[in-house]
Amino acid sequence: RVPLLQAAGKKNSFNLIGLTEAELKETFVRGDGPGGQATNKTNNCVVLKHIPSGIVVKCHQTRSVEQNRKIAREILQEKVDLFYKGEDSDVFKEKKASEKKKQEKKRRAKENLERKKHFKEMQQLDKK
């Protein structure tokens, strides 16, 4: 089972709950991670908080503040949608479908490996 707020990511859902700027509190902080002086001296990490739900998103994926603001809003919108709609959310359904597809692919790969192993064993027996 997927924890609800971890299902948010980069999804292409158009049926999300809308956010207004009045509900958001935006701050800029120094990012962390690799980047050296460029990271240590610039406040291009965006911290976005949805005040009614208390959900906080921190985005430092690019060096551009504007791109980080856009990405943070997209992620926050998905998380808020998950928070209010739960398992009825498009984001949750999409994540669940992709996990099911991944498990099916894994199962098929395992079956193919077993077939190959069985085939090699049969070849070994035929040689003897």
Strand order in the sheet with 55-59: 24-29, 45-50, 55-59
CA angle 73, 77, 82 (to 5 degrees): 150
**Residue 48: strand, helix, or coil:** strand
Look at residue 126 in the predicted model and tell me its pLDDT.
84
The mean per-residue pLDDT over the stretch 15-44 comes to 81
Q: What is the pLDDT of residues 36-57, one digit of tens each?
A: 777 778 888 999 999 999 999 9
Look at residue 120 in the predicted model and tell me its pLDDT.
92
14: confidence class by pLDDT, cuts 50, 70, 90? low
Handedness of CA 35, 36, 42, 47 (dihedral sign): positive
7: confidence class by pLDDT, cuts 50, 70, 90? very low
